[in-house]
C-alpha cells in the first residue's frame, strides 16, 4: 500500500519508492500540504499541520499551502477553483467530506471529496501512483449535484507546493517556429511566473512542463521537483512565491477567456498534472518522465520504424513518378516506412488552396494513391500520409460550401495564417466530416502511418452554433473534440501509427501523446540546431517519440554545411527519418547513408528503449554528447554514445568525456577503441574524443564483454 490515511492525526501520505508526499486536514477543515521530498514517516509531519497567520492583512497563511485552493474567503494566491453560482454569488467554501482508496492493475488511487458548505458542488481530488515510479498523477473532477447551472471560471488540475529552499530555480523551455524546446532557467522572486499557451494548442513558445530546484541541481545530482500537464489546448502553469517563503505551482486549463457552464447532474474532469520528485538531478528526472511515457502515457507499440518523408524533397510538387523514384531509393537505404507529405490532395499546389478537400489530386496521381502504395508495399516498406484535418483554405471546395464551419465572429474579418482558417470542431457536422474522410482514407488504402499536422493558431474564437453566454468554452471544446476524433480513429484503425505535428513541434504534450506514437519536434532540420532542440525535448519526452530527419548537406535554415555522418548521428539520437531529395544523391552518398541506417538499426533498441544520459560536461568546449544504456538481450549491458563537436579552436585537444549509467564492475568493449575498459574507468576517467575541425561527430557502440 502506497497511500495511507491516519485518522487520528488526519494525515494522508503517498509513498513512492524514493519519495513521500504528505498532506493533512487542518483544524479549519482545509486540506493543507505538509511535505514532498525524500521518504519520511507521515506522523513526523504532524507538527506542520495547522493554521498560521501574521497580521490581519495576512490572516490565513495556511491557505497558501492548500492542496487545492478554492477562491473564497481569505484566499489570495492563484486559485485552483473559482466559480460563479446561479444567484451571482462568487465565493466557494469547500469542506473536507471523505476519501476513498482504490487499487487496480498495480496502480493506487486516492480520491478526496470536498463539498461546498451551501451550494450543491462537489470537488473530487484524484491522486494516482504507479508501481516503481516516483510520480503522482493529479486531477480534479467537479460535480454539479444541484438543479442550476454553475459556471466554472477557473478549474485547475492541481497545485504543487514546494519546500522552503534557499533559491527556487525554475527550469522550462521556450521557443518559436523552427526554434522549439530551448532550455531556460530563472530564479523565482515574490510574485507569479506564468508559463502558458493562449493560442489554442500547446505551442512552440512554451511547453506544459516545469522543474524547480534549489539552484544547485545538476544532471547527476541534487533535488528536483517537476511536473507536466496532459493538455493540448490553452494551458497555464503558474509558479507563485509569497513573502512567507511559500512556492506553489498551479496548473491546468488556462482560465484566460475561458469558462465552462456545468449543467445540473454533469461533471467536469480536468486534465492530469503529473508531478515528481528525484534526489539525483535533471537526468534522473528525465528518465523518470521517459519511463512514465513508456509505461503509462503511451504503453509500448514496439520499435519505431526508420521513415522517409518527402516534404523537403518535393514540397507541393508531388507526383507519382517522383514519389515512386524516391521510394525506390529510400528502400535501398533500408527505410521501413515511406511517408508522403502535403500536396497530394485537392488543388493543393501551394499553401494557398486545397486544404479541406481530401480527395486525391488526379493530375498528380492519375491512378489514385493505390499505385504509389502498391509500389511502396512491393518495395517492402509501409506507407504513411500527411493530413491537416482541423484547418481549411478559403480557396477550397469545403470552404465554398461551408463558410460557417470555421471559428469566426460575424462582425469581424477572419484572420488568415498560412492562408488558412480553423474548423469549428465543436460542430457535430465538422467532427463527422473529419471522421468520415479519415475513415475513408484509412479504410480504402493500405496506410499504416498518419502525420497529423496543424499549421495555425486559433483567432476570432466564436462558435456560431453555440449559446452566446457559453462562447468561452471554445478553447476546451476544441481539445475535447480533437481527443475524441483521435480516440475513435485509433480504435477503428489499431494498426495505424500517428505522428503529432503542428507547424513543427508545437503540439507535443502528455495529452496528445496518449494518442500519438511519435512527434515531429521542429521544422528546423539543421543537424546542429537540432541538437539543442532535441536536448530540450529530452528533458520531458522520450527519444522514441522524437522523429528526426536527415536532410540536405546545406541546411535551408542557416545555410550551414554538415557531413552525411554528422547529419545521421544527430538524427540517430531519436527515431531516425530521412527527408532529403534522394533522387539528387550520388551513389556514394546513398551507400554511406545505407551503412548509417544499418548502424542505426543495430543500436535502435538502445536509443528507443534504453535509458538516456545527457553528457553535458564538455559543453564549454562546444561538445554535445548523449548516451543510451540498455540491455543487450543476453543478460548483459550495452550502450551507445553520440558526440558532436561544434568547432575546434586554438588546436585544443578535448578533455576526456566521462560516461554514465554503466556498471562500474563490468568490462566493456568499444567499437573502434582497443581493449576492455571497466565501467568504473569509463565513468571516472572517461574516454578521449577524436573530434576535430568543425561539425565533427562520432558514434561509439559499447558492449559489455
Q: Would you name the residues annotated as active-site residues?
A: 453, 523
Smallest distance from ligand GLA to CB 290, Å: 24
| Interacting residues with ligand GLA between 503 and 532 (CB under 6 A) | 503-504, 520, 523
Please give the C-alpha separations between residue 108 and each of 12, 102, 133, 696, in angstroms, as whole numbers.
14, 6, 12, 49
Binding string to ligand GLA for residues 265 to 304, with x set by CB under 6 A, is what? Answer: ----------------------------------------
Strand partners, 100: 111
Q: What is the maximal distance between C-alpha atoms in the chain?
A: 80
Q: How far is CA 29 from the centre of its chain?
A: 36
Smallest distance from ligand GLA to CB 321, Å: 21
Considering beta carbons, is residue 4 or 352 the nearer one to ligand GLA?
Answer: 352
Residues 642, 34: Cα–Cα separation, whole Å: 43
Strand partners, 247: 162, 241
| Interacting residues with ligand GLA between 200 and 259 (CB under 6 A) | none
Residues 511, 264: Cα–Cα separation, whole Å: 27
Q: Are strands 307-309 and 337-340 parallel, antiparallel or unpaired?
A: parallel
One residue of 21, 226, 311, 449 binding ligand GLA per CB under 6 A: 311
Considering beta carbons, is residue 525 or 627 the nearer one to ligand GLA?
Answer: 525
Smallest distance from ligand GLA to CB 658, Å: 37
How far apart, in Å, do the first and last CA atoms of the chain sit?
40
Count of CB atoms situated within 10 Å of the CB of 380? 10
Q: Does 137 contact ligand GLA by CB under 6 A? A: no
# chain residues binding ligand GLA, by CB under 6 A: 11
Spatial contact of 152 and 268, defined as CB atoms under 8 Å apart? yes
One residue of 64, 342, 637, 704 binding ligand GLA per CB under 6 A: 342
Smallest distance from ligand GLA to CB 355, Å: 9
Binding string to ligand GLA for residues 424 to 443, with x set by CB under 6 A, is what? Answer: --------------------
Residues 609, 298: Cα–Cα separation, whole Å: 13
Smallest distance from ligand GLA to CB 492, Å: 24
Q: Which positions ≥6 away from 459 have C-beta within 8 Å?
A: 407, 414, 415, 417, 422
Residues 468, 462: Cα–Cα separation, whole Å: 9
Residues 121, 23: Cα–Cα separation, whole Å: 23
Considering beta carbons, is residue 66 or 499 the nearer one to ligand GLA?
Answer: 499
Considering beta carbons, is residue 420 or 599 the nearer one to ligand GLA?
Answer: 420
Measured in degrees and rounded to the nearest 5, phi and psi for residue 300 equal -55, 140
Q: Does 116 contact ligand GLA by CB under 6 A? A: no
Residues 704, 679: Cα–Cα separation, whole Å: 9
Count of CB atoms situated within 10 Å of the CB of 663? 15
Residue nearest to ligand GLA (CB): 342
Smallest distance from ligand GLA to CB 518, Å: 13
Binding string to ligand GLA for residues 479 to 508, with x set by CB under 6 A, is what? Answer: ----------------------x-xx----
Smallest distance from ligand GLA to CB 32, Å: 46
Considering beta carbons, is residue 353 or 501 the nearer one to ligand GLA?
Answer: 501
| Interacting residues with ligand GLA between 396 and 415 (CB under 6 A) | none
Considering beta carbons, is residue 22 or 497 the nearer one to ligand GLA?
Answer: 497
Q: How far is CA 113 from the centre of its chain?
A: 30
One residue of 341, 382, 529, 609 binding ligand GLA per CB under 6 A: 341
Q: Does 453 contact ligand GLA by CB under 6 A? A: yes
Spatial contact of 449 and 422, defined as CB atoms under 8 Å apart? no
Considering beta carbons, is residue 139 or 396 the nearer one to ligand GLA?
Answer: 396
Smallest distance from ligand GLA to CB 517, Å: 16
Smallest distance from ligand GLA to CB 503, Å: 5
One residue of 455, 538, 562, 612 binding ligand GLA per CB under 6 A: 455
Count of CB atoms situated within 10 Å of the CB of 479? 23
Smallest distance from ligand GLA to CB 235, Å: 21
Task: List the one residue out of 409, 575, 504 whose CA is nearest residue 201.
Answer: 504
φ/ψ region of 132 (left if φ > 0, alpha if ψ in -120 to 50, else beta) reads left
Considering beta carbons, is residue 208 or 579 the nearer one to ligand GLA?
Answer: 579
Q: Which positions ≥6 away from 436 have C-beta within 8 Å?
A: none
One residue of 386, 452, 510, 668 binding ligand GLA per CB under 6 A: 386
Smallest distance from ligand GLA to CB 368, Å: 21
The three cell numbers locating residue 318: 508531388
Residues 404, 160: Cα–Cα separation, whole Å: 42
Considering beta carbons, is residue 300 or 317 the nearer one to ligand GLA?
Answer: 317
Spatial contact of 268 and 559, defined as CB atoms under 8 Å apart? no
Considering beta carbons, is residue 204 or 610 the nearer one to ligand GLA?
Answer: 204
Considering beta carbons, is residue 180 or 336 the nearer one to ligand GLA?
Answer: 180
Tell me the CB-side half-sphere exposure of residue 327, using CA atoms within 13 A: 25
Residue burial 184-204, b: 16+ Cβ < 10 Å; e: rest = eeeebeeeebebbbbbbbbbb
Residues 523, 256: Cα–Cα separation, whole Å: 29
Strand partners, 423: 406
Residues 644, 623: Cα–Cα separation, whole Å: 5
Q: By the criterion CB under 6 A, which residues form the site for ligand GLA?
A: 311, 341-342, 386, 453, 455, 501, 503-504, 520, 523
Amino acid at each position: 500500500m502506497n497511500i495511507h490515511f491516519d485518522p487520528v492525526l488526519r494525515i494522508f501520505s503517498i509513498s513512492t519508492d524514493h519519495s513521500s508526499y504528505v498532506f493533512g486536514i487542518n483544524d479549519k477543515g482545509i486540506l493543507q500540504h505538509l511535505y514532498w521530498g525524500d521518504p519520511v514517516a507521515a506522523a513526523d509531519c504532524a507538527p506542520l499541520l495547522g493554521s498560521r497567520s501574521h497580521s490581519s492583512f495576512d490572516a490565513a497563511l495556511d491557505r497558501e499551502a492548500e492542496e487545492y485552493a478554492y477562491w473564497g474567503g481569505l484566499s489570495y494566491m492563484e486559485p485552483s477553483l473559482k466559480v460563479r453560482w446561479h444567484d451571482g454569488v462568487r465565493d466557494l467554501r469547500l469542506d473536507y467530506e471523505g476519501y476513498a482508496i482504490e487499487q487496480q492493475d498495480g496502480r493506487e488511487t486516492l480520491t478526496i471529496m470536498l463539498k461546498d458548505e451551501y451550494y450543491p458542488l462537489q470537488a473530487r481530488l484524484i491522486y494516482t501512483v504507479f508501481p516503481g515510479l516516483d510520480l503522482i498523477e493529479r486531477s480534479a473532477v467537479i460535480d454539479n449535484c444541484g438543479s442550476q447551472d454553475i459556471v466554472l471560471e477557473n478549474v485547475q488540475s492541481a497545485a504543487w507546493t514546494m519546500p522552503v529552499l534557499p533559491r527556487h530555480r525554475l527550469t522550462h523551455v521556450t521557443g518559436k517556429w523552427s526554434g522549439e524546446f530551448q532550455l531556460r532557467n530563472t530564479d523565482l522572486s515574490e510574485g507569479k511566473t506564468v508559463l502558458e499557451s493562449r493560442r489554442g494548442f500547446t505551442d512552440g513558445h512554451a511547453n506544459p512542463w516545469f522543474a524547480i530546484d534549489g539552484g544547485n541541481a545538476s544532471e547527476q545530482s541534487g533535488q528536483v521537483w517537476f511536473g507536466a500537464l496532459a493538455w493540448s489546448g490553452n494551458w497555464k502553469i503558474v509558479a507563485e512565491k509569497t513573502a512567507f517563503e511559500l512556492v506553489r505551482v498551479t496548473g491546468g486549463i488556462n482560465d484566460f477567456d475561458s469558462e465552462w457552464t456545468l449543467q445540473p447532474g454533469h461533471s467536469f474532469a480536468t486534465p492530469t498534472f503529473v508531478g515528481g520528485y528525484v534526489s539525483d538531478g535533471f537526468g534522473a528526472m528525465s528518465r523518470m518522465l521517459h519511463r512514465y511515457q513508456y509505461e503509462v502515457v503511451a504503453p509500448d507499440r514496439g520499435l519505431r520504424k526508420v521513415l522517409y518523408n518527402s516534404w523537403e524533397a518535393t514540397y507541393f510538387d508531388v507526383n507519382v513518378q517522383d514519389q515512386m523514384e524516391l521510394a525506390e531509393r529510400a528502400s535501398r537505404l533500408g527505410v521501413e516506412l515511406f511517408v508522403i507529405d502535403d500536396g497530394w490532395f485537392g488543388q493543393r499546389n501551394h499553401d494557398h488552396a486545397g486544404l479541406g478537400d481530401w480527395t486525391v489530386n488526379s493530375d498528380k496521381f492519375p491512378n489514385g494513391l493505390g499505385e504509389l502504395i502498391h509500389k511502396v508495399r512491393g518495395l517492402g516498406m509501409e506507407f504513411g500520409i500527411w493530413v491537416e484535418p482541423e484547418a481549411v483554405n478559403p480557396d477550397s471546395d469545403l470552404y465554398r460550401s461551408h463558410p460557417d464551419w470555421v471559428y469566426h465572429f460575424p462582425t469581424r474579418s477572419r484572420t488568415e495564417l498560412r492562408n488558412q482558417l480553423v474548423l469549428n470542431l465543436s460542430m457535430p457536422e465538422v467532427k463527422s466530416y473529419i471522421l468520415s474522410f479519415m475513415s475513408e482514407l484509412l479504410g480504402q488504402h493500405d496506410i499504416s502511418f498518419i502525420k497529423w499536422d496543424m499549421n495555425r493558431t486559433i483567432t476570432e474564437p466564436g462558435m456560431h452554433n453555440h449559446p452566446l453566454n457559453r462562447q468561452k468554452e471554445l478553447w476546451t471544446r476544441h481539445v475535447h473534440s480533437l481527443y475524441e476524433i483521435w480516440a475513435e480513429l485509433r480504435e477503428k484503425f489499431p494498426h495505424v501509427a500517428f505522428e503529432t505535428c503542428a507547424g513543427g513541434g508545437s503540439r507535443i504534450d502528455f495529452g496528445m501523446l496518449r494518442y500519438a506514437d511519435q512527434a515531429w519536434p521542429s521544422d528546423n532540420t539543421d543537424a546542429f540546431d537540432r541538437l539543442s532542440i532535441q536536448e530540450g525535448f529530452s528533458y520531458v519526452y522520450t527519444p522514441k517519440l522524437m522523429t528526426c530527419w536527415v536532410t540536405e548537406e546545406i541546411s535551408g535554415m542557416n545555410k550551414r554545411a554538415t557531413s552525411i555522418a554528422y547529419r545521421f548521428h544527430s538524427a540517430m539520437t531519436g527515431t531516425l527519418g530521412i527527408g532529403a531529395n534522394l533522387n539528387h544523391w550520388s551513389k556514394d552518398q546513398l551507400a554511406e547513408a545505407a551503412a548509417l541506417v544499418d548502424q542505426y538499426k543495430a543500436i535502435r533498441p538502445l536509443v528507443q528503449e534504453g535509458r538516456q544520459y545527457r553528457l553535458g560536461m564538455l559543453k564549454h568546449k562546444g561538445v554535445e554528447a548523449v548516451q543510451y544504456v540498455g540491455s543487450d538481450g543476453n543478460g548483459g549491458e550495452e550502450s551507445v554514445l553520440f558526440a558532436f563537436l561544434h568547432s575546434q579552436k586554438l588546436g585544443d585537444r578535448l578533455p576526456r568525456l566521462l560516461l554514465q549509467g554503466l556498471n562500474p564492475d563490468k568490462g566493456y568493449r568499444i567499437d573502434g577503441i582497443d581493449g576492455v575498459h571497466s565501467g568504473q574507468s569509463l565513468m571516472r576517467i572517461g574516454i578521449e574524443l577524436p573530434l576535430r575541425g568543425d561539425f565533427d561527430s562520432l558514434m561509439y557502440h559499447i558492449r559489455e564483454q
